[in-house]
Amino acid sequence: MDSSNNWKKLRTLTKSVIASPILVIVKLNPIYYLRKLKLLLSAFFHGGQVVLGKNVRLNQPVYFMGLGKLVLEDQVSLGYWLGGVTPAIMLQPRNTNSQILIAKGTTIMNGCQFIACILISIGKNCRIGSNCVIYDTDFHEKAPTERDKASIPKSVRLGDNVWLGSNVIILKGVEIGTDAVVGAGAVVTKSVPSGAIVGGNPAKILGTVYA
């Protein structure tokens, strides 16, 4: 190995760092690496697991809670940079067999909260507005004498290219078809067919994106 060559490379790199510190910081994007490291460590200490694809971007703090598995596929983007204090994203696969799966190219905005006791699956290239909530459980039974008992969870699935407006709530057992649009503030208690536009509380079909 030519040690003089290595020294030349090191001197060149040092000069470039001194000459262009901003360029180096931009290229390295240290804040993204720190957020990814924090997410992985959080999963480790909670006893869960995080799987990160390529070019996953954590633009805001993302908190992991639970014993289950979180999968962020390639080019998933979490959060959007805004001045001042903005709410973090919370992803909570609660139990050892719980999973939150977010497919390639999906964008999730600030303040979203997903809690899975079995499965929350989000398809490719979805757009999830700020402060959206997805639960696959009611957390406890509704009968007054059974409030201390855990309810039976039902998986939630979003197809590809689904668009959720801000402050949408999706409850357990719901499936939302490919290309569907859910209006801001909607509470979705029943499954939505592909391409449907829904809104309201409870959400009702208002139209279709295919018209």
The one-letter amino acid at 191: S
Among candidate residues 147, 164, 44, 33, the one with its CA nearest the CA of residue 102: 164
Is the CB of residue 76 less than 8 Å from the CB of residue 95? no
Q: Cβ distance 197 to 181 under 8 Å? A: yes
Q: How large a percentage of the chain has pLDDT more than 90? A: 65
∠ CA 148-136-44 to the nearest 5 degrees?
Answer: 90
- Out of 39-43, 185-189, 206-210, least confident range: 39-43
Which range has the worst mean pLDDT, 26-30, 79-83, 85-89, 180-184?
A: 26-30
CB atoms within 10 A of CB 89: 24
Residue 75 burial (CB count, 10 A) = 17
CA 150 – CA 117 distance, rounded (Å)? 10
Q: What is the DSSP secondary-structure string of 190-207?
A: S-B-TTEEEETTTTEEEE
Q: What is the DSSP letter of 186?
A: -
pLDDT at 158 over 70: yes
pLDDT at 87 over 80: yes
Residue 1 has pLDDT above 70, yes or no: no
Query: At residue 193, does pLDDT exceed 50?
Result: yes
Selected residue with higher pLDDT from 198 and 27: 198
Higher local confidence (pLDDT), 196 or 140: 196
pLDDT attached to residue 119: 98
Average pLDDT taken over every residue of the chain: 87
46 as an active site residue: the answer is no
| Per-residue pLDDT tens over the stretch 29-71 | 567 778 888 898 888 888 999 999 999 999 988 999 999 999 9
pTM of the model: 0.83
In the set 9, 15, 140, 190, the catalytic residue is 140
Residue 147 confidence (pLDDT) above 90:
no
State the pLDDT confidence band at 26, using cuts at 50, 70 and 90.
very low
* Cα–Cα distance measured from residue 83 to residue 2, given in angstroms and rounded to the nearest whole number: 49
Lookup: tokens for 142: 């509704």
